[in-house]
Amino acid sequence: MLHNSISKPKQSIQLNNWFLQGKDIINSEKRIKHLKEVFGDEESFKKLDPEKVVYSVQSYLPVKEGTPGGLYFGTTTIQPGKVGNEYFMTRGHFHANLDRGEYYWGVQGEGMLILMDKNRNTWGEIMSPGSLHYIGVNIAHRVANMGSTALIFGACWPSDAGHNYEETEQKGFSSRLVEINHKPQLIDSELPLWKKQ
Ligand code: PAN
Ligand code: ZN
């Protein structure tokens, strides 16, 4: 940067929906076909359109992945929907560098941040517009959309956090967020019962 120079920022956030615009914003999306191992109810999964978008992520990664001390920023939008009784949700992950935390915050819609520690204890925090969530170190995290409109949340995480999807994909989270009697409930993943409700 030139000494004493003044410039306009090259990125911006649309404040109503946290849509990111500008230089080097990366857009990605996950469709049903990308999320085979994520949902518990295989039969209901097969009936869905493989091209249906479940969630999209915008991210701004201003420094090289792995840079110590840098910060990344993102907006995730999860569409409303369910696979059987299980709400549409993100894949979820531990950070590859386990001792890296993260902030999430609710922007729009009603959701649940699902957290699991290394002992496989799982719990949920309700996400709503303005809710702030500190995700501590050593904790896997994913978000489910419990509402009938798109759920939008923001995220900020260290540029040397990395993502470990293998562990959560192979073993899953120990609980699933399903709708039973019109209410969201966390149910042990091992129980086959939730599929039949
Ligand atoms: C978020 C997530 C984003 C998508 O930016 O990466 O919400 O979820 P998955 O990565 O689990 O598909 C974050 O937690 N970054 O660390
Ligand atoms: Zn993360």
Query: pLDDT tens digits for 70-79?
Result: 999 999 999 9
What atom of ligand 1 comes closest to residue 163's alpha carbon?
16
The residue ranges of every structural domain in the chain are 11-188
pLDDT (tens digit per residue) in 150-164: 999 999 999 999 999
70 CA → ligand 1 middle, Å: 17
Give yes or no for residue 173 CB within 6 A of ligand 1: no
In this structure, which residue's CA is closest to atom 16 in ligand 1?
157
Protein residue with least CA distance to atom 13, ligand 1:
155
Ligand 2 centroid–CA 136 distance in Å is 10
Whether ligand 1 lies within 6 angstroms of the CB of 160 is answered as no
Percentage above 70 pLDDT, the chain: 96
Fold assignment, 11-188: Jelly Rolls (2.60.120)
Ligand 1 atom 1 nearest Cα: 155
- Tell me what pLDDT residue 191 has: 63
Least-confidence region, from 10-24, 94-108, 177-191: 177-191
Please state the atom number of ligand 1 nearest to the C-alpha of residue 142: 11
The C-alpha R_g of the chain, in whole angstroms, comes to 17
End-to-end Cα, the chain, rounded Å: 60
What is the pLDDT at residue 133? 99
| pLDDT > 60? residue 197 | no
Q: What does pLDDT average to over the chain?
A: 96
Distance CA 88, CA 38 (A): 10
74 lines ligand 1 (CB under 6 A): yes
Beta strands at 102-108 and 151-158: parallel, antiparallel or unpaired? antiparallel
From the CA of 13, how far away is ligand 1's center (Å)? 18
**Does any ligand 1 atom lie closer than 6 A to the CB of residue 75?**
no
pLDDT (tens digit, 9 = 90+) per residue, 23-81? 999 999 999 999 998 999 999 999 999 999 999 999 999 999 999 999 999 999 999 99
Residue 135 CA, closest ligand 1 atom number:
14
Whose CA is closest to 152, among 162, 143, 160, 161? Answer: 143
Identify the band that residue 14 occupies on the pLDDT scale cut at 50, 70 and 90: very high
**Are 190 and 138 in contact, with CB atoms under 8 Å apart?**
no
Closest ligand, as measured to the CA of 165: 1
Q: What is the DSSP letter of 88?
A: P
Q: Report the alpha-carbon distance of residue 65 to residue 11 in Å, rounded.
A: 19
pTM of the model: 0.96
pLDDT tier at 190 (50, 70, 90 boundaries)?
confident
